[in-house]
Amino acid sequence: MAIQRDCQIVGKEKLIDGIYKISLKSKELAELSKPGNFLEIKVSDSLETFLRRPISIYNIDKENGVVEFIFQVKGKGTEILSERKVGEMLNVLGPLGNGTFSVKPYRRVAIIGGGIGIYPLHELAKNLKDSEINTYLGFRNKDLVTLEDEFEELSDKLVISTDDGSYKEKGFAIDFMKKDCSKEKFDRIYACGPLPMLRAVQAFAIENEIPAELSLEERMGCGIGACVGCAVLTKDSDGNQKYKYVCQHGPVFNAKEVII
């Protein structure tokens, strides 16, 4: 159930250049949120940044009533958001998204993320503590690596890769996941990141008959399915196709369902 509320900023941290973490105080929001949910955040009252910014939830602290999100400065709206200060209020619509990650005690799972797509996978990993978690995180280069320590703590195995080999393993995260899967098959794969990575994960999962869940990143104007700006094509088990909205039916989809 999504609710609009004013939340106080109780924490702010610059992780690396252009990437920030903000902590919001809201017991109600923390209680309602699940792994895979996102928020629609009003960054200012200016007409220039009238539309809210959709940002995935990174961490849920139900005990202290705090919800955290991480974002990258990409335009005027996120630039304004990066300038907000602790103690100020943010107007938030959320939690949004009816398609969230399935959290069950699978024996052995793979979590794979790329770039800023790794952030919603953190709360998922926290909730899969009864499973053997193999995490694969890919970045363009060393300067963009974030949350290594956080995922190290949550994972039974963590592989960090960079496209240019400037940090840890050189190559794409999916290649290291495939290698480990060839030794022992995963029971489920969870993924969030750039579209090419998601397509590759989808193809691999379907080919190897491994259930997989993909969290899609799309532009969202409203976050509730009214503006139809985040429509994606899907198909059912009979092959019938129809459009669904990432904000309303996702952002997490079964890999066999969504056409990307």
Top pLDDT among 225 and 98 is at 98
Q: Is the pLDDT of residue 223 over 80?
A: no
Locate CATH 3.40.50.80 in the chain: 108-217
Task: Copy the structure tokens of residue 20.
Answer: 């920030």
Instruction: Name which of 146, 191, 138 is nearest 164 in CA terms.
Output: 138
Average of per-residue pLDDT across 160-189: 97
**What's the whole-number mean pLDDT along residues 73-81?**
94
CATH of 108-217, one of 3.40.50.80, 3.40.50.2300, 3.20.20.140, 3.40.50.300: 3.40.50.80
Radius of gyration of the chain (CA): 18
Residues facing residue 162 across a β-bridge? 139, 170
Architecture of domain 3-96: Beta Barrel (2.40)
Mean pLDDT (the chain, rounded) = 94
Model confidence pLDDT, tens digit, residues 152-164: 999 999 999 999 9
* Residue intervals in the chain for CATH 2.40.30.10: 3-96
Strands 53-61 and 66-72: antiparallel
Contact status, residue 55 vs residue 27, Cβ threshold 8 Å: no
Q: What is the pLDDT of residues 4-59, one digit of tens each?
A: 999 999 999 999 999 999 999 999 999 999 999 999 999 987 767 778 899 999 99
For the segment 115-136, the average pLDDT, to the nearest whole number, is: 96
Say if CB 152 and CB 145 are below 8 A apart. Answer: no
Cα 98 to Cα 39: distance, rounded to the nearest angstrom:
12
